[in-house]
Structure 1
Amino acid sequence: MAIARHGSGVRASVGAVASQIHPVFMLPPLAASGFGAVLAGFGAPRLALLHVAVAFCALYTAHVKDGLVDFHHRGEDDDHPLTRRGCHLALAGSTALFFVGVAALALRVDAVAAILALPGWVVAVLHAPHLDTNPFGATLGYPVGIGFALLGGYYVQSRTLSTTALAFAAVFVVVLAGIKVVDDTTDYDYDRSVDKRTVAVVVGRHRARVVAGTLMTAGMVAVVALSVTGVLPRGSAFATLPFLTVAVVARRADAELATMLLVRASYLFFALLVVVAWLRPLAGVAVPDITVLGPYTYLATELLWGAAALGLVVRAGALRAAARTAAVLYPFAYVWDWYTLSVGVFAIPMRTGIDLLGIPLEEHLFMLVVPTMVVGVHETLRELDDSDSTEENA
């Protein structure tokens, strides 16, 4: 029986097998493996190439399996280069090469390196028709595979996992999950017709875009915060700027165009992170030391964030709601704060020294600023959601 559905002979068979190498689909995981190696110092280039090859075999398996299920079983795709037998042979070959590579990782590195490579193949085999029938599997399969590719690439260089590598992997998973949610909205009608429960099918297209925006924003905020605190290389925060710029534009685009924009923005985001991890441009730069304000340090930060919180609630027309929320929470926060200070849970050295009702003045302000900020953010997000919903229904 033939391997290729279109044409015959060796050339047609090789072309059909090679057609399952999709650079757009494969580049991010392979790049994640390389990024993990760079992050670890890239001390063993041959091991890095070995890990990339193993990841490639897992990705090839995933694509062939998806084609087998979507065309030959579900009839979802209009065409496919491989026959059913060709798909099975390609799967057998890629799986055999994958496990040869895993064995090589176990011998040349250790068992942990081999174990970290396995999730990529497991996701590849189970994605269709199992994982892609529920919102978690459909959304997280590909991003989780990329996360493990990064961790594996890092581990084969260092034989350990650092907080930085784990943080980067988590960020990649969250950001790519957001993009995947947007991508799945393009197939909303078909997925709903075959009971494929993607996030869009479960919560609706509008809410899915909200979920996607929340995930991507969380990922970018995490990069900025972890960059400032030094968990990620200093300068990583700058990699978020192009992505956020494109994401703002993509909010108003249809799902197909938004996916194209976000995928390309993610490539630029990851490329900039590689540059930062390789060059460490701000490695010697320390965060600003505001303790030069002496006893007014804590008070100054509260006035800054208090002004931001007040601006949010005024803009959202939620000043009364913020005041009421702060008033209700204040007694509980006051007792909690007084008790924790009394038993020595924490201390506040950079303060004015002014006490009121048994606790520092700054703590009273803190108990007003936090609920005001929460209400301001909540109302601002709700306003954005209502605006998007109005535009979608227009």
Structure 2
Amino acid sequence: MAIARHGSGPRATLGAIASQIHPVFMLPPLAASGFGAVLGGLGAPRLAALHLAVAFCALYTAHVKDGLVDFHRRGEDDDHPLTRRGCHLALAGSTLLCFVGVVVLALRVDAVAALLSLPGWIVAVLHAPHLDTNPFGATLGYPVGIGFALLGGYYVQSLALSTTAVAFAVVFVVVLAGIKVVDDATDYAYDRSVDKRTVAVIVGRDRARLVAGALMSAGMAAVVALAATGVVPRGSAFATLPFLAVALVARRADAELATMLLVRASYLFFALLVVAVWVRPLSGVALPDITVLGPYTYLATEVLWGAVAVALVVRAGAVRAAARTAAVLYPFAYVWDWYTLSVGVFSIPMRTGIDLLGIPLEEHLFMLIVPTMVVGVHETLRDLGD
């Protein structure tokens, strides 16, 4: 029985097999594996290439399995280059190569390296027709596989996992989950007709775009925060700029075009992260030291963020709601703050020294600013959602 559905002979067979190499969706996981290797120091390039090959085989398995299910079983796709037998043979070949690579990693590195390489293949085999029928599996399968590709690539080089590697893996999962939500919206009509419960089907296409935007924004914000605190190289913050620029353009595009733009933006995001990790351009730059304000340091930060909180509640028309919330929470916050200061849980050296009712002036302001900020952000997000 033939392997290729269109044509015969070796050329048609090789073309059908090669058709399941999808560069657009293969590059991010492979880039994640390579990024993990660079993050781990890239002391063993051959092992990095081996891990990359294992990730490639897992991705190939995923594409063949999706085609087998979507065309030959569900009838969802209009065409597919491989026959049913061709799909089975391609699955067997890619799985065999994947597991050979996993065994070699176990022998050349250790069992942990092998275990970190397996989730990609597991997700590939289970994605269709199991994981893709619910919003969590459909959205998180691909990103989680990428997260493990990063961790595996890092572990193979360093024989350990670090906070930095895990932080980057989580960021990748969150950002790519947002892109996947947008991508799933391209099949909204069909998915809804067969009761395939993607995020777009459950909440609608418009709200799905909001969910996607929130996930991608959270990922970018996390990179900036982690870079500022030194958990990841400080230059990583610059990698967010082109991605955010493309995301703003993609907001007004349809789901298919937006997916293409965002996937390519993720390539640039990965590339700039590699540069940030490899070159570490801001490694010698220290954070601004605002303690030059002396005893007014804490008060100055409260004036800044208090102004932001007030601006948010004024813009959202939620001044009364913020005042009511702050008033209700204030007594509880006051007792909590007084107790923790009294027993020495924390101290505030950079303050004015002015105390009111047994606690610093700055703490009274803090207990008013925080609920105001929360109400302002909540109301602003609700306005954006509406």
Determine if the TM-score, normalized by the shorter chain, exceeds 0.5.
yes
Paired AA for residue 34 in structure 1: G
Paired residue for 1:214?
A: 214
Distance in 2 (alpha carbons) for counterparts of 1:94 and 1:265: 29
**How many angstroms does 1:257 deviate by?**
2.1
Deviations 1:16-57 (A, max 9, x none): 111111111111100100000001111111010000001000
**How many angstroms does 1:122 deviate by?**
0.2
Paired residue for 1:201?
A: 201
**How many angstroms does 1:253 deviate by?**
2.4
Deviations 1:245-264 (A, max 9, x none): 22222223222222222112
Distance in 2 (alpha carbons) for counterparts of 1:139 and 1:228: 29
Paired AA for residue 352 in structure 1: T
Deviations 1:344-380 (A, max 9, x none): 1111111111000111000000011111111111111
Paired AA for residue 248 in structure 1: L
Distance in 2 (alpha carbons) for counterparts of 1:243 and 1:320: 37
Q: Map of 1:44-63 to 2, 5 A cutoff?
A: 44-63=44-63
Paired residue for 2:326?
A: 326
Distance in 2 (alpha carbons) for counterparts of 1:256 and 1:371: 40
Paired residue for 2:17?
A: 17
TM-score, length basis structure 2: 0.98
**How many angstroms does 1:96 deviate by?**
0.4
* 5+ long unaligned stretches in structure 2: none
Distance in 1 (alpha carbons) for counterparts of 2:93 and 2:266: 31
Paired residue for 1:276?
A: 276
Paired residue for 2:43?
A: 43
Paired residue for 1:336?
A: 336
Paired residue for 2:188?
A: 188
Paired residue for 2:159?
A: 159
**Aligned pairs, number:** 386
Paired AA for residue 124 in structure 1: A
**How many angstroms does 1:219 deviate by?**
0.6
Distance in 1 (alpha carbons) for counterparts of 2:56 and 2:262: 23
Paired residue for 1:80?
A: 80
Paired residue for 2:262?
A: 262
Distance in 1 (alpha carbons) for counterparts of 2:263 and 2:50: 26
Q: What SS does structure 1 have at the residue aligned with 2:136? A: helix
Paired AA for residue 215 in structure 1: L
Distance in 1 (alpha carbons) for counterparts of 2:138 and 2:120: 15
Paired residue for 2:228?
A: 228
Tell me whether 1:125 sits opposite 2:128 in the alignment. no
Paired residue for 2:252?
A: 252
The runs of 4+ residues in structure 1 deviating greater than 3 Å are none
**How many angstroms does 1:265 deviate by?**
1.4
TM-score, length basis structure 1: 0.96
Deviations 1:167-204 (A, max 9, x none): 00000000000110111111111001111111111122
Q: Determine what percentage of the aligned residue pairs are the same residue.
A: 88
* 5+ long unaligned stretches in structure 1: 387-394
CA RMSD of aligned residues (A): 0.9
> Could you tell which deviates more after superposition, 85-94 or 320-329?
320-329
**How many angstroms does 1:236 deviate by?**
0.8
> Could you tell which deviates more after superposition, 249-258 or 128-137?
249-258
> Could you tell which deviates more after superposition, 6-15 or 159-168?
6-15
